[in-house]
Structure 1
Amino acid sequence: MECIFCSIISKNREAAYVYENDRFIAIMDKYPINIGHTLVIPKKHYHTIIDMPVNEVGMLFALTAHLAKAVIKAVNSDGFSIGQNNGEAANQIIPHVHVHIIPRFANDKTRWSSRRFMTFEQLQNVAENIRRYIEPIEIEELV
């Protein structure tokens, strides 16, 4: 079965388009958390964000920030959340990279899921473990 977003990109499935260029589309979420909930999607199919080249990730988030300005003006929101899930355990429902722009309103009662308390020592241990896996990267690669 074809990916839902790939079907939309190939015009085989309808969507309410907000924006399109040669690399990305932005559409309205069919099941929005709030009015104006927009999805920014690369046209090329990538399962998760770590499958994407770093420069494309940068372009995706630059476009997301640019479109967020228009979204918050259009719906007159008090703020916005940016969401991006990777993998089933992270609640990625459609296995094609996409970024959520979710307008937020003062009394919308939409909150992040549960959080946990960790001691500073626990945080330090996790940070140290993460640092072991960070691969070297040149700043030029991020431009």
Structure 2
Amino acid sequence: MTRSHEPDGYQCPFCTLLRGESTPISTPENIVYRDEQTAVVVSPHWWETNPVNLLVVPVEHVENLYVLPPALGTPLLATARRAALALIETYGCEGTSLRQHNEPAGNQDVWHLHFHVVPRWHDDAFQRGEHVMRAVPLAEQHEHSARLRGASSWRS
């Protein structure tokens, strides 16, 4: 099944970052990890009660889960695991959540597959829907990117 919602001429923000270029809300400094197949980016939007939203993306442009080449599934999940461990090591969160959205009805708004890795704390209200996204200034994004790059999970 292939259903595309990517507009003609779409300028993918993840592909832009992975080429070493900036977008209006993100720069290559937001990339905290990259290998041949995957990358981890500090998101420019965070949930207020769960700061530092990490995005795990395939380096290859893939619109959504439906068209993900099976050979990329394992590397993406392995990188999501590293991202979760980096959040625990760097911020001492009590858990993590992994989210992924497909198509407009599924809340996808960037047409490049990505997994959100979100730090969690007991009673943080995240699952009750009491969370609100906020735009994060570049300086704050870069501060956290630099902290996360030091995590040992990227080296294992």
* TM band (smaller chain): 0.7 to 0.9
Q: How many residue pairs end up in the alignment?
A: 113
Task: Kindly indicate whether residue 41 of structure 2 is the aligned counterpart of residue 32 of structure 1.
Answer: no
Q: CA RMSD in A?
A: 1.4
Task: Kindly indicate whether residue 60 of structure 2 is the aligned counterpart of residue 44 of structure 1.
Answer: yes
Say which SS state the counterpart of residue 65 (structure 1) adopts. Answer: helix
| In structure 1, distance between residues paired with 2:36 and 2:92 | 29
Task: Kindly indicate whether residue 127 of structure 2 is the aligned counterpart of residue 111 of structure 1.
Answer: yes
| In structure 1, distance between residues paired with 2:37 and 2:74 | 12
TM-score (norm. length: structure 1): 0.73
Higher relative contact order (CA 8 A, sep 6+): 2
1:64 is displaced (CA, Å) by 0.7
Say which SS state the counterpart of residue 76 (structure 2) adopts. Answer: helix
| Alignment partner, residue 2 of structure 1 | 11
Instruction: State the one-letter code of the partner of 2:90.
Output: A
Q: Residues 87-111 of structure 1: CA distance to partner in whole angstroms, max 9, x if unpaired?
A: 1110011010011100011232111
Which of 83, 95, 106 is the aligned partner of 1:90? 106
Runs of 4+ in 1 over 2 A off after TM superposition: none
Percent identical residues: 26
Q: Which runs of 5+ in 1 are unaligned?
A: 114-143
Q: Which runs of 5+ in 2 are unaligned?
A: 1-9, 130-156
| Alignment partner, residue 67 of structure 1 | 83
